[in-house]
Structures are given as C-alpha cells and as structure tokens.
C-alpha cells in the first residue's frame, strides 16, 4: 500500500518541478511566486518531518531550473547557490540562534544586510579586469552563456578600473528591469497591442535570454552586484561589506541600501526600514538578504544542499497573489466614464484584503484575455490601486466571456465608444443619476448658465435630498425647499431663486456649453451656435454636417450626435426651454463687402515703388480682378513708366487711368477700413 505522506511528497515534487520549468526556463510562470514559495515550504516541512523520504533529486535540494539548449552551457566552478527563506521575525530569530550555536558565539553577530532584488541571477567573469563571460545561474552548476546580451547592459563595465584587480574574479549579482522602465515598456506594449511582461523579473529574464542581442540592447536592463564567486590571485577583504565596497571602486554597480547590522534587532530594524521604502526604490525587491559579514565565519558555516548556511532571505509580504475572477461589474463615474470592475474571490495581497480591482476599460480586458471563472493574478505595488496583472492558465470549466454593455447600467442611455479612445462613456449626461451632480454643477458654472450661489455643496444637498434630478428641476425650486438646506437662510434662498430666474436670459452658445456635451468647450459651443443658429437645426445635424463647423472634427461631431440622440437628454432640454430659458435670435453673419469687388484693373508699364506682383496681390485682396488686357470691361488702368499700347487703348476707350502714386493713394485709402 502507498504511503500517503510519500504520495503527497511525490505530488509536490512533480508540481514544483513543472513550475521550475515555467519559471526558470520558459520565463512564463503559471503560479505566483508566493504560491510557489508555499508549495516549496510545504515540501520542506514534509521532508524534515519524514527524513527517510528525502532524496537528492528533490527540488528542495536543487537550485533553479534546467538550462536551455539554445544557449552554450557554462560550468560554474564555484556553484551558484540559492538562498533559504524566512517569512517572519520568529523564523529569522531561530536562524540567527542556529548560527550563534554553531559558532558558539555569545555576542551579536555582524551581518551585511542587502535588498533582495527580484531579477535574474548572473555571473560575470573578469580576466585581468576584462569581462570575458557572463552566464545565468541555471541549475547552479551549469548555466547559460549570455555574454553577448549582458554586454549590452549599460551599467556593466566591460573593463574594471582601479588597483589590485585579481587575475580572475567572478562577480555575482542580479539583472533587473528598473520599475520606471518596466512600467514604461508595458504601457507602450499595451498601446501597440503587443504582449506585456507579467512583472519586472519576467521582463529582465525574458529580455536577457534572447538569442539576438539586438533585442536585449533595446530593453532597459540594469545590473547590481551582490557577491563574489571564483577568485584567482587576488587579495580581498575579510568582510563581505568591505568586499562589496571594493567592487564599487572597480566600477561595478551596487544597490544604495547595503548596510552593516548587528544581531537580530539590527536586522529586523533594517527590514522594517526597507519595507517602508520598498515602493520608492527604483527596482522591485521581494525581501532582504542578511549575510554573516565575516568571511572566515562564512567559511566555518559552509553550505547545506542548495544554499549557504551564512545567509538568509527574509521575504516581504507578496505583492502578487492568485485568485478567481467571480464577475465583472460596470461602474459609471461622475463624468460618465464606464469602468469595468473585477469582482474577486477575496485574497490577501501586501497586507490588504482585496475583493475588487479596476479593469480600466475594454482594451485592458482584451489585453488580459480574461474570462469570468479564470484564475487571475492580483498585483498591488507602490501606491497603485490593485490591478489584475494577468490570468493563469488554470482550467476554467465554465468560462464566461466578459460582455461590455451597450447601455449605461445606471440610466440605460447609449454607451458611447469612440474608435481610438480607450474610455467608453454614458451619453445620457443630463439625465444619468451617476453624472447628476457633475452635470448640474457644470450647467450652473460661471462660463455656462452663471447661476450665482449654486455651489458644489448646495448642488450636493439638492441631489441628495432628491429635490432635483437634472438641471431643469432647478427652475421649479421654491424658496421654502431651499431654506431647509445647510447654511441656507431665507435671504440666501431668495437670492438663489433670483439668480435662477436671471440666468434664464442667456445666449445660444452658453446654453450649448451648459449641456456638458463631451469636448464641447466655450469655443466649440460658439462655433456650433454661429453655424446652426437654432437648436432645432443643431439637433438634426448629422456627423458630416457637424464636421463643417470650425474646430469640429470627427470625434467632437460624434459626441454631439450621440448626445442629441438620447431621448432622455432631449426631454431635459425641452423641460429647460419650457422653464423659460431663452436667448436672442441669431442671424447669419453678413459677408463683409470688399471695396473693389467686381472691378477689373489692368497694370501696365514699370512700377518703381512697389513690385508688380505686390500691386496685383494688394488689388486682389480688396476684391479686384487684375487682367492682362484692356477692354471695354476694364474699370481702371494703372500706368507705370514707359507704358505703351495698353495705355493708348485705355485712352481710346476713355477708361480711367492712374499712375503709380495714384495706385498707392488708392490702396492707402482702404488700408484701415
């Protein structure tokens, strides 16, 4: 009969091995790091409680994953190990106590404390100060040769500078994609419909493990050293911290946060400090690494299967957790923006319980390719609101497609989705309950209906008390209804009623502006009013006609069209007109008459004070036609010096003739009209 513990151990090992392949070799993890840590911890516990089942091929005894065939293999002469983890202060205290016991120390141990960057571990081999090889950690003994790619990373020196550089020195550290670059890369990728990276670690690993180093060169990667592997003919300090400072002097980059700390309390204080700084650091970190600082003590402590005994990673709370997408709700914002919100099976991320996350817009849903019922990763980083960063390829037995509604969930008006704009909006701006306060406030603002005394607080109270639902309701308010409001005495109420009455006399442009049509600001409202002259004409304008108005392009035309197609908006407009809002009738702008319109001029002879084409343009600007020949239809001939046959003909036909000074006087007589 099979032993259930052994069975469980076998199952966990298989699962972890599979995840190792996805994480280390394929750079496409199928579970979150925290879920992975939990599986590994579970396996470790079972193995330590049942040591008879411990085998050397267990993932608890191994580092990383297999190396990819596409790269040349590199032998790590000094194995590149991994680190053991602790997840709380108690386990850290146990770790330090174990060290003290092993070393039979009574005083505080000195540690070098460093942030643990979430990137890809790399080995850089320098011979006589020249970078000759770079390799991934791989399985700890064999890594992948990525020299060509690493050489494209800006902050990695190809040659070390300074004194006492050992003949051979292997630097170890982490390649990361800094946060700013990661966010920027993903933003651009999603704008261009390209695949974005799940997290900065994936971005770094995926970028470095490329066969074509031109691709790597385009990715903004950075390297930070954390230790030394192989050394030949070199004289190094006996302190890990001092060794790191030496690396810095040779030109190798270090993180800024490395410090020396004493004992458990020193380590814990450092952990707290860096945890509070976590979101402000330029790179993503997932914990702290404490290393016994004294190299001789490190040597005394040695290694266990896959990790040094003298170092430990103290992990931070995870910023990513996986959970189920239960449903998607659509929220309507104050300005009508429709935001899909993911309803999640509650999950604890970064110290907070999360059951909802914004999905931003339909493009984001498509980018993520998620369906209801999927397992998704919730990420909570920096001060950012929780995000769904990706879905995991777990079996979803009854996937439900997320359907973006075509009508507003609050007021049922049409949802306006304009091509090229990510945000979809409810077009029932005047009527929609979600947009009420914003719409009424905008309606009464100074540049629109200019209703004095109708500030934000009053509008809020009027809506909350259900005294008004839309701008038209303002005009049937009675002063008795107003007097009940906060800080509203009889005098103020009377003033507000008067202001409402006064506002009824307005202009067409201000009324249009007050309707709050998307992207119709003061100038556009004025242009629309001048072009259409009446509200009826504007209401029945189609998208093509709207685009003939100055400053109105396709998008604005569509907004206007949508707005006037919503029955509810039209009802509110009718109620406003019924309440007595009016404006002076507009008449078409008279075309200003040009003074020389219908007159034909002929220029002949040489002009001395102005060029002939200047004279021609000046006459044309005043409306004149400038002809090349004299006929009975010519109104005037400008005769310059040595004028010939044209002058004679003008004289014969009795056509008025002026000289160059006469022309100048004529032009000047119209110059300021």
Task: Say if residues 209 and 144 touch (Cβ distance below 8 Å).
Answer: yes
Can you tell me the distance from the alpha carbon of 294 to that of 228, in angstroms, rounded to the nearest whole number? 14
186: tokens are: 């993903």
Q: Which residues of 417-440 are buried (b: 16+ CB within 10 A; e: fewer)?
A: bbeeeebbbbbbbbbbebbbbbbb
CB 411, min distance to ligand I6G, A: 54
Smallest distance, ligand I6G to C-beta of residue 306, A: 9
Give dist(CA 204, CA 596) in Å, integer.
73
- The whole-angstrom separation of Cα 250 and Cα 223 is 15
List Cα–Cα distances, 470 to 158, 191, 292, 473, 624, in angstroms. Answer: 69, 37, 70, 6, 55
What is the binding site for ligand I6G (CB under 6 A)?
81, 83, 114, 116, 121, 174, 226-227, 289, 308, 311
How far apart (Å, rounded) are the C-alpha atoms in residues 327 and 344?
A: 7
DSSP states of 146-212 as a string?
Answer: -HHHHTT-TTS-SB--SS---SEEEEEEEEE--HHHHHHHHHHHHHTTPPPPSSHHHHHHHHHS-S-
How far apart, in whole angstroms, are the C-alpha atoms of residue 491 and residue 381? 52
- Is 116 among the catalytic positions? yes
Cα(474)–Cα(584) distance, rounded to whole angstroms? 22
CB of 293 to ligand I6G, least distance (A): 12
What six digits make up the tokens of 303?
A: 């290694």
In DSSP terms, which residues pair with 135 in a beta bridge? 123, 145
Given the complex with ligand I6G, which of 81 and 124 has the nearer CB atom? 81
Whole-number Å distance between alpha carbons of 341 and 330 = 6
- Least Å distance, CB 302 to ligand I6G, is 13
Please give the distance of CA 33 from its chain centroid, rounded to a whole number: 24
Between 114 and 374, name the residue whose CB sits nearer to ligand I6G: 114
Element (H, E) at 436: helix 436-444
Closer Cβ to ligand I6G, 222 or 496, answer by number: 222
State which residue, 84 or 460, has the beta carbon closest to ligand I6G: 84
In the complex, the smallest distance separating the C-beta of residue 115 from ligand I6G, rounded to whole angstroms, is 7
Name residue 388's beta-bridge partners: 378
* Cβ nearer to ligand I6G, comparing 274 with 666: 274
Q: What are the DSSP calls for 547-568, one per residue?
A: TTSTT--HHHHHHHHHHHH-HH
Q: Are 142 and 63 in contact (CB under 8 A)?
A: no
Structure token pair of residue 445:
């603002």
Number of Cβ within 10 Å of residue 129's Cβ equals 17
Q: How far is the CB of 157 from ligand I6G (least distance, A)?
A: 20
Cα(641)–Cα(46) distance, rounded to whole angstroms?
113
CB nearer to ligand I6G: pick between 285 and 538:
285
Q: Which is nearer to ligand I6G, 81 or 365 (CB)?
A: 81
Give least dist CB 311 to ligand I6G, A.
Answer: 5
Catalytic residue among 6, 17, 52, 116: 116
Residue 52: how many other CB atoms lie within 10 Å: 9
Nearer to ligand I6G, 176 or 344 (CB): 176
Task: State both tokens at 582.
Answer: 């009016």
How far is it, in rounded angstroms, from Cα 405 to Cα 412?
A: 10
CB-hemisphere CA count at 13 Å for 485? Answer: 27
Which residue, 311 or 370, has its beta carbon nearer to ligand I6G? 311
Count of Cβ atoms closer than 10 Å to residue 612 Cβ: 15
Question: What's the CA gap between 309 and 301, in Å, rounded?
Answer: 6
In the complex, minimum distance from the CB of residue 355 to ligand I6G, in angstroms, rounded to a whole number: 34
Residue 534, SS3? Answer: coil
Q: Are strands 600-604 and 625-627 parallel, antiparallel or unpaired?
A: parallel
Taking the complex as a whole, the smallest distance from the CB of residue 268 to ligand I6G amounts, in Å, to: 17
Smaller CB separation from ligand I6G, 314 or 360: 314
Residue (177 or 311) nearer to ligand I6G, CB: 311
| Least gap, CB of 116 to ligand I6G (angstroms) | 5
Q: Which is nearer to ligand I6G, 252 or 666 (CB)?
A: 252
Residues 6+ apart with CB under 8 A from 650: 602, 630, 634, 637, 639, 657
Select from 279, 276, 242, 245 the least CA-distant residue to 110: 242
Q: Tell me how far, at minimum, the Cβ of 253 lies from ligand I6G, in Å.
A: 13
- Could you tell me which of 531, 553, 512 has the C-alpha nearest to residue 430? 512
How far is residue 399's CA from residue 524's CA, in Å, rounded to a whole number? 46
In sequence order, which residues have a C-beta less than 8 Å from that of residue 373 and are 6 or more positions away? 324, 325, 396, 397, 398, 399, 400
> Closest distance between ligand I6G and the C-beta of residue 163, in Å?
26
Catalytic residues: 116
């Amino acid at each position: 009969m099979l032993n259930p513990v052994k069975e469980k151990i076998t199952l966990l090992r298989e699962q972890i091995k599979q995840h190792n392949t996805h994480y280390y070799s394929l750079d496409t993890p199928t579970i979150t790091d925290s879920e992975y840590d939990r599986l590994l911890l579970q396996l470790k516990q079972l193995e330590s409680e049942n040591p008879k089942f411990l085998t050397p091929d267990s993932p608890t005894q191994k580092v990383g994953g297999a190396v990819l065939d596409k790269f040349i293999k590199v032998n790590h002469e000094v194995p590149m190990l991994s680190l053991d983890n602790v997840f709380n202060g108690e386990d850290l205290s146990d770790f330090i106590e174990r060290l003290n016991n092993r070393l039979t120390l009574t005083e505080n141990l000195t540690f070098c404390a460093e942030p643990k960057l979430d990137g890809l571990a790399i080995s850089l081999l320098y011979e006589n100060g020249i970078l000759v090889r770079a390799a991934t950690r791989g399985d700890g003994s064999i890594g992948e040769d990525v020299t060509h790619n690493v050489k494209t990373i800006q902050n990695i020196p190809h040659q070390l500078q300074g004194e006492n550089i050992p003949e051979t020195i292997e630097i170890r550290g982490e390649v990361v994609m800094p946060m700013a670059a990661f966010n920027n890369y993903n933003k651009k990728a999603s704008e261009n419909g390209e695949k974005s990276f799940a997290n900065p670690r994936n971005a770094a690993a995926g970028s470095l493990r490329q066969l074509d180093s031109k691709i790597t060169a385009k990715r903004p990667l950075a390297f930070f050293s954390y230790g030394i592997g192989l050394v030949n003919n070199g004289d190094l300090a006996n302190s890990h911290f001092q060794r790191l400072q030496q690396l810095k002097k040779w030109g190798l980059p270090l993180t800024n946060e490395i410090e020396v700390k004493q004992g458990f309390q020193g380590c814990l204080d450092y952990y707290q400090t860096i945890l509070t700084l976590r979101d402000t650091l330029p790179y993503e970190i997932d914990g702290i690494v404490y290393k016994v600082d004294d190299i001789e003590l490190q040597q005394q402590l040695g290694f266990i299967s896959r990790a040094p005994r003298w170092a430990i990673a103290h992990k931070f709370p995870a910023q990513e957790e996986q959970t189920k997408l239960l449903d998607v709700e659509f929220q309507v914002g104050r300005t009508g923006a429709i935001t899909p919100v993911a309803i999640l099976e509650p999950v604890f991320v970064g110290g907070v319980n999360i059951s909802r996350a914004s999905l931003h817009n339909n493009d984001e849903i498509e980018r993520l390719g998620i369906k209801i019922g999927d397992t998704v990763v919730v990420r909570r980083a920096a001060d950012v609101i929780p995000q769904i960063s990706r879905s995991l390829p777990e079996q979803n037995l009854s996937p439900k497609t997320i359907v973006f509604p075509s009508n507003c969930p609050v007021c049922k008006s049409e949802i306006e989705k304009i091509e090229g704009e990510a945000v979809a909006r409810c077009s029932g701006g005047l009527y929609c309950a979600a947009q009420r306060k914003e719409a009424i406030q905008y309606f009464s603002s100074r540049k629109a209906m200019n209703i004095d005394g109708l500030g934000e607080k009053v509008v809020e109270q009027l809506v909350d008390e259900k005294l008004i639902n839309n701008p038209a309701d303002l005009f049937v308010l009675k002063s008795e209804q107003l007097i009940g409001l906060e800080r509203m005495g009889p005098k103020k109420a009377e003033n507000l009623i008067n202001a409402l009455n006064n506002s009824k006399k307005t202009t067409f442009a201000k009324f249009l502006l007050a309707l709050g049509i998307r992207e119709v600001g003061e100038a556009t409202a004025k242009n629309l009013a001048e072009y259409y002259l009446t509200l009826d004409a504007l209401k029945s304008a189609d998208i093509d006609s709207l685009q003939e108005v100055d400053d109105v392009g396709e998008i604005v035309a569509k907004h206007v069209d949508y707005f006037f197609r919503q029955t509810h908006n039209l009802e509110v407009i009718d109620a406003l007109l019924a309440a007595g809002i009016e404006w002076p009738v507009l008449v078409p702008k008279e075309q200003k008459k040009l003074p020389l319109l219908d007159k034909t001029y002929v220029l002949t002879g040489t002009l001395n004070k102005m060029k002939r084409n200047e004279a021609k343009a000046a006459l044309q600007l005043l409306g004149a036609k400038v002809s090349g020949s004299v006929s009975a239809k010519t109104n005037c001939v400008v005769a310059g010096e040595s004028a010939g046959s044209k002058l004679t003909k003008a004289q014969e036909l009795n056509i008025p003739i002026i000289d160059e000074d006469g022309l100048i006087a004529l032009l000047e007589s119209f110059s300021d009209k």
